[in-house]
Structure 1
Amino acid sequence: MDQPTVGILHPGGMGAAVAACAATNAAAVLWCEAGRSTASAARAEQFGLTPVATLPELLDRSDIVISLCPPAAAENLARDVAEHGFTGVYVEANAINPERMKRIAELLEPAATVVDGGVVGSPPVRGKTPTLYLSGPAAATARIEDLFAGTAVQTNVLGTETGKASALKLSYASFQKTSRVLVALAIGMAREHGVDQELIEVAARRTDSYLAETQYVAKTAARAWRWGPELEEAADTLAAAGLPPEMLRAAASTLARWGDAKDDGELTLTDALNRLAQP
């Protein structure tokens, strides 16, 4: 089968790295320069992606489009793609709840074929091997498996039902992200009373305790701008299932206190806790 041309919307930290893996089995991987930041342009260049001037040009040239953007932008982006009349395979790989996933599929079908996707793990750089979970029409998910064959992005097809991949992604994110918010709150409480080092020592006696991994507090703060909206999506998923969403909404609200720490790689534990205590 001929190698497909792939479009990535948009080359953020995850999107650019995933797109670079797709380039292994693609004729070209395109990204749209219009309205993107200098940081996006630098990432796209670093990963060898091909720039195009406009979204219509990207859609006209692409056989497969992969959407990896902040959750809040997912539907508007899909709407823009649908308005252009895209007829290829659209991989909705954002951290959105299953109901939103189904609405996006309805926007794009039947002109396009929609695949539900969810990335679990860190961006595929420096030896990291995330898994892209997929659900949707069998022929389309098989094309995405072929696209990432032999790359650092592993694929796992969950079936043909739209929403399964999104549900798995958010189920995992609910635990993984909220538990790290709780770490920050626990250490912040202990620090206020001068027993933070003792708390960490207690936690270190246990195996696999997030509470002993204090380096993740600053990393969580730097990622809060992405994680908060993702947990809101997960909370909506809980509510739709008749389960209480309040804990995840509270975690999202806590993350909002770190909104101005976006991607700050220099942040320390002390900085992060100070911002948490004094927004």
Structure 2
Amino acid sequence: MTVLGILHPGSMGTAVAAQAKAGGADVLWCPKGRSNASKARAERAGFGAVESIREMVERSDVILSLCPPANAEEVAASIAAHSFSGIYVDANAIAPASMAMISLSMGRTNAQLVDGSVIGSPPSGRKATRLYLSGPTASVKAVAHLFKETAVSALVLPGGIGRASALKLSYSTFQKASRVLAAVSYALARDYGVEDELVDIAKGRTTSYLTETAYFPKVASRAWRWAPEMREAASALAETCLPTELVEAAALVLDRWEDAKDLPLEIPEALDWLHCVPED
């Protein structure tokens, strides 16, 4: 039986580890310093308690880190400090550069590092979640096997450390920012009593802008007039004391396409224009 250690089991970490347990793994966690809510979740899930992180390191074949992104490097360092020699899965929403730092920490041990990213709601009998994995082939396969025939769909990405993290943040950039922007847009509409009409317009869409990649060049060619429109939107938001930063940032992004007016760009060209030009 594979022994899985789960670090800082919040709602997502507990749910993911519970699926590994349902698949046959023995799951351990460390209650020391954790909240009563974490203790209750772990107990409900039937996880075994250990006295210390050292004991988890000594007993676990795989350790899964799902914690607040700001703590990811510190948590990894705490595992590396105990000379872990199993598979360490960092499945936090962190940048590839942060994964590189964790790789350096783990490089001082005999641990095998796997880059992971969880996309979706906490898995359950009704909801499936995707776990993307990248890194050393044998280790990635071993982690994926933990979730075979569970509500966690483990998907292997080609390439090394950093691929899974990059995918997570690529998706989060759109998903979370668009949720915030939707709230700001709705607040402006409500202030003027047109929120129902706004929702009615939105209901006419059935797909995500993220899937409409062929539209990117059109955005680039129209940026010269879209940027001023965003600045007018910022003015309207300011009038009712709503946050202007998101639309101001959108205008700055559109400025990068300012000289693309009516150009017949292909998708790669349009995207290349978004990158900053390195200084000599």
Instruction: State the TM bucket, normalised to the shorter chain.
Output: 0.7 to 0.9
The DSSP-based 3-state class of the residue aligned with 1:116 is strand
Q: CA RMSD in A?
A: 2.1
Partner of 2:100: 102
| Structure 2 spans left out of the alignment, 5+ residues | 210-244, 251-280
Give me the whole-angstrom Cα distance separating, in 2, the residues matched to 1:59 and 1:113.
13
The DSSP-based 3-state class of the residue aligned with 2:63 is strand
Give me the whole-angstrom Cα distance separating, in 2, the residues matched to 1:21 and 1:130.
10
Give me the whole-angstrom Cα distance separating, in 2, the residues matched to 1:14 and 1:126.
14
The DSSP-based 3-state class of the residue aligned with 2:81 is helix
Give me the whole-angstrom Cα distance separating, in 1, the residues matched to 2:50 and 2:81.
19
Q: Structure 1 residue 122 and structure 2 residue 115: aligned?
A: no
The DSSP-based 3-state class of the residue aligned with 2:132 is strand
Partner of 2:181: 182
Alignment of 1:158-169 (within 5 A): 158-169=157-168
Cα 1:85–1:132 shift into 2, 3 Å: same
* 1:131 shift after superposition: 1.0
Partner of 2:204: 205
Give me the whole-angstrom Cα distance separating, in 2, the residues matched to 1:135 and 1:179.
27
Partner of 1:140: 139
CA contact (8 A) 2:25 2:146 kept: no
Q: Give the aligned residue type for 1:144.
A: V
Partner of 2:9: 11
CA contact (8 A) 2:14 2:41 kept: yes
Give me the whole-angstrom Cα distance separating, in 1, the residues matched to 2:9 and 2:55.
16
Look at both structures and tell me which one has the larger radius of gyration over its CA atoms: 2
Give me the whole-angstrom Cα distance separating, in 1, the residues matched to 2:72 and 2:158.
22
Alignment of 1:24-35 (within 5 A): 24-35=22-33
Cα 1:249–1:139 shift into 2, 3 Å: farther
Partner of 1:236: none
The count of aligned residue pairs is: 214
Give me the whole-angstrom Cα distance separating, in 2, the residues matched to 1:107 and 1:161.
16
| Structure 1 spans left out of the alignment, 5+ residues | 211-245, 252-279
Partner of 2:55: 57
For structure 1, which segment, 52-61 or 73-82, has the greater mean C-alpha deviation from structure 2 after superposition? 52-61
Q: Which of 27, 44, 50 is the matching residue for 2:42?
A: 44
The sequence identity of aligned pairs, in percent, is 51
Q: Give the aligned residue type for 1:154.
A: S
Partner of 1:232: none
* 1:123 shift after superposition: 0.8
The DSSP-based 3-state class of the residue aligned with 1:194 is coil
